[in-house]
A = this chain, B = another copy of it.
Amino acid sequence: MSKVNRREFLKVLGVGTGTVSAAFLGASPALAGDWRTGGVEQGDASDPTLEPWQVIDMEHEEKVNAYIENIGTDDIFWDRPIEYTMDGDVKVFDLTVTKGEWETESGNPRPAYMYNGMVPGPTLHATEGERVRIVVHNEMDESTAIHWHGIDLPNDQDGVTYINQPPILPGETFTYEFDLINYGSHMYHSHHNSLAQVVGGLLGAFIVAPADTRDEPIYDKDYVFALNDSFLGFTINGRSFPYTQPLTATVGERIRVRFMNEGLMSHPMHLHGMPMRVFAKDGYNLPAPYMCDTLNVAPGERYDVIIEARAAGLWAFHCHILSHVENAQGMFGMVTVLAVSPAEEATEE
């Protein structure tokens, strides 16, 4: 739903469209670039004549430049596709489980577990009341099983090996099938040898839309924001800064973000410049939605928030455990940006 490409991003930023407003560029110095002339010349951080603080600055700048350069190079960051077929009224998905390599940082492949070749796996979308069938093909050299985290289903579909089912052996195919009776932002992940398999990549989002949408908030864009840590580094949707992608909005638009944590640590996610309204936890609407700018997401939790794009510019959006996001070499890990473009009237000049 929320695919970002570079062209869209530049349009959001008003670059290259003939509508760049001075006000916006002033509000987005990273794009204006005219202040990049302070004490540091663009150059080689290994230059021995540089002071240590100059190296720190250069490496910080390089990371941000790399982030801006990478924008639009990752089509699946926000929207992890999967085909499905209909068998009568049953929506049928296929998930193939493999071991391979995944680049949380481009050019730095790490051993990973994958659903359909991705970390996280594809996002499953269905609607409350629908019946789904997920056919799991285990092409690994070890067993696995899938737990549908947050979804109320029959016990033998719950996916804990030796509790609910036998493991899916190497080479085997196993079929899950169940009716979706509770909607919300849910997840799926391995529940076998899970410390290795889940944190190593066998995780994904399972979004169940409500049949009756009257209790849903109104919003313009919808983002799944999955956190992971440990073996694959600190990641948002399987990627580490500067290889993450921005969320985009126009001033006045409302975006929905679905946080979910599949890692081993809590991550307090902080949005700069405007608050988030938290309206659901674990797929259940809160009786008393609340505002915040820092939302602590523990392993296994999901939170749905609405952000109203308040003001134009690039707004940092990151975990506030600083050791997960920045060191002397600049920003890394769980960092991205909410890029807000001016409303139409602001650019008519």
Contact = CB atoms under 8 A, between A and B. Distances in A.
- What copy number does this chain have within its complex? 3
Contact of A316 (B65, B158, B298): B158
Q: What's the interface size class on A, roughly?
A: 35 or more
B155 A264 contact: no
A282 B292 CA distance: 5
A93 interface: no
A119 to B, nearest CB: 16
Contacts of A265: 321
Contacts of A60: 161-162, 167, 192-193
Given A39-B169, A313-B156, A299 B321 contact: yes
Interface stretch (A80-88, A108-116, A266-274): A266-274
Given A27-B155, A282-B293, A288-B287, A268 B160 contact: no
A143 B57 contact: yes
Residue of A198, A274, A282 ringed by the most chain B CB atoms within 10 A: A282
Contact of A287 (B270, B290, B337): B290
A152 B292 contact: no
A30 interface: yes
A60 B311 CA distance: 53
Nearest to A328: B193
A155 B321 contact: no
A175 interface: no
Given A158-B273, A322-B195, A164 B284 contact: no
Contacts of A57: 143, 161, 167, 169
Given A286-B290, A328-B193, A56 B142 contact: yes
A163 B301 contact: no
Interface in A269-322: 270, 272-275, 281-284, 286-294, 296, 298-302, 310-316, 320-322
Contact of A160 (B35, B51, B165, B316): B316
Interface string A234-274: 00000000000000000000000000000011101010111
Contacts of A100: none
Contact of A196 (B193, B300, B315, B328): B328
Q: 8 tightest CB-CB pairs across the interface, nearest first?
A: A155-B313, A300-B320, A284-B291, A53-B142, A64-B162, A296-B298, A294-B300, A288-B288
Given A29-B163, A195-B327, 5 more contacts: A155-B273, A155-B314, A196-B328, A282-B294, A294-B299
